[in-house]
Amino acid sequence: MKRTHAPILVLVALLSTTAVGGAAQSIEAVAPGLRHLVISKGDVATAATYRIVIGEFERQADADLALERLQENGFTAFPISFGDEYYIVTPGLPHRTEAEDLRQRLLERGFSPPLEIREVSHDQTHANGPWSIHVLEADPTLVEVRVAHAYDTAIGLETTADLARRLGALAAINGGYFSMKGLFAGDSRGTLQINGRLISEPDRGRAAVGFFEREGKVNSVFGRLSFHGEVHLDGGERIPLDGLNRNRGSDEVILFTPDFHRTTLTSAEGAEITILDGRVAEILNGSGSTTIPPGGMVLSIGADRTQALLPKFRPRSRVSVETAIEPLLPDPEREWDQVEDIVSGGPLLLWKGTRLEEPEVESISNSFFLARHPRTAAGVRADGTLLFVTVDGRQPRESVGMSLPELTDLMVELGCVSAINLDGGGSTTMVIDGKIANRPSGGSARRNADAILLFPRKP
């Protein structure tokens, strides 16, 4: 579904402390060209309600099926997230007898017991929130924007506050999705480019935001991206790449660069080819975790493709590698060719004045789309002003979080013409002057993979 909108004038930008439309708002100047807006809106649900738990699901796909079945049978339900699990529940009803009647109707339609009725004193689905929102409003002529990864590699985890302090940033927000556990913890799940170096490839055509300098100011570009990568052999043959700097599947060809780690961290089931100065320096079969040479790279071939591909490589033969990102939405001015830093997320909320509600295009589940989570977003106004936003969640007495349609509403209210949803949940963090400004849902700061950092512009 797509709807157009006109940019909305944000009156709060002219005020220091005010209340507009029932939302208490304040502004603090962080530095020239950078302001911190705090917005509190909505109210706490205090009356007890009764709702029915249809089911508890670890997989978003299963929660989606439950939602779809309920809708097909004429019932209204909501997804509620608790960490990685989703509960599908009916709307809160004021009396237990009404909930009991609804439970009976669900049973008659073939929904499986127990269909537990729960009394809720502070309802996370309460239509009026509350919401605690933090906004960084950045003048693109007075700040610089950079993307950074934990410990300046392609893997590893670091709190957004520690990353911002270590690099001396004025402010920061958390970045994109990433692997949270295992040997590859911190590996970005989507596009990551830092200072012109592509570190991680796009994931399923999901949204990204890029930043580049032009005419004395930072410019931003929003869209969806795909990946193109090839290995060019001496005889003219080309081998497609499946990805960069990530865990290798058995049927994949993955390129590892020095940005990743000291070694490839791969298992021995496959083959690896070290490339240095444009030539094959070493060919290893059945040996993993190859050292990545500074200034070189390692091509890693999964076990299912070793027999077909390994004979194509000869010691000292010439090899070149091509990697590129390609926009999936129109880019007539070729802005993506100019970007220096990119961070991804998904889905795209607004694009050049058009509201987007098509999560399926980016393989976003309906449960994730509709559930209220802590959220992080980045957006831009028509005049180029950059907005970086966090919405706290999973704290019903203070902030319930937002669904993605609600987050889109917020970005429209803030005057954005383009906006993207970034990683949220326990990752949602805003840092100002080295201190966390919002209230992370887990009670303490989560270690994240990457972040968007703001700095004063150099003279």
For the stretch 246-267, pLDDT in tens is 999 999 999 999 999 999 999 9
Q: Which residue ranges does the chain devote to CATH 3.30.70.1070? A: 49-120
pLDDT tens by residue, 80-117: 987 778 999 999 999 999 999 999 999 999 999 999 99
**What does the pLDDT read at residue 85?**
86
pLDDT tens by residue, 236-248: 999 999 999 999 9
Average pLDDT of the residues in 358-374: 95
pLDDT tens by residue, 140-174: 999 999 999 999 999 999 999 999 999 999 999 99
Helix or strand holding residue 412 (H, E): helix 404-413
Tokens of 51: 């709702």
- Model confidence at 22, pLDDT cuts 50, 70, 90, reads low
Q: Which of 304, 339, 342 lies closest to 148, judged by CA?
A: 342
Total residues found in the chain within this entry: 459
**What does the pLDDT read at residue 121?**
85
Tokens of 233: 């052999």
In the Cβ-directed half-sphere of 46, how many Cα atoms lie within 13 Å? Answer: 3
Distance, in Å, from the CA atom of 194 to the CA atom of 216, rounded to the nearest integer, reads: 20
Tokens of 26: 């304040």
Cα–Cα distances in Å, from 352 out to 95, 134, 355, 416? 46, 23, 9, 9
- Model confidence at 437, pLDDT cuts 50, 70, 90, reads very high
Alpha helices in 73-127 (DSSP H): 96-108
Under CATH, domain 49-120 is a member of which superfamily? Sporulation related repeat (3.30.70.1070)
**What does the pLDDT read at residue 126?**
85
The rounded percent of the chain whose pLDDT value lies above 70 is: 95
Average pLDDT of the residues in 357-361: 95
Q: What's the gap between Cα 424 and its chain centre? A: 7
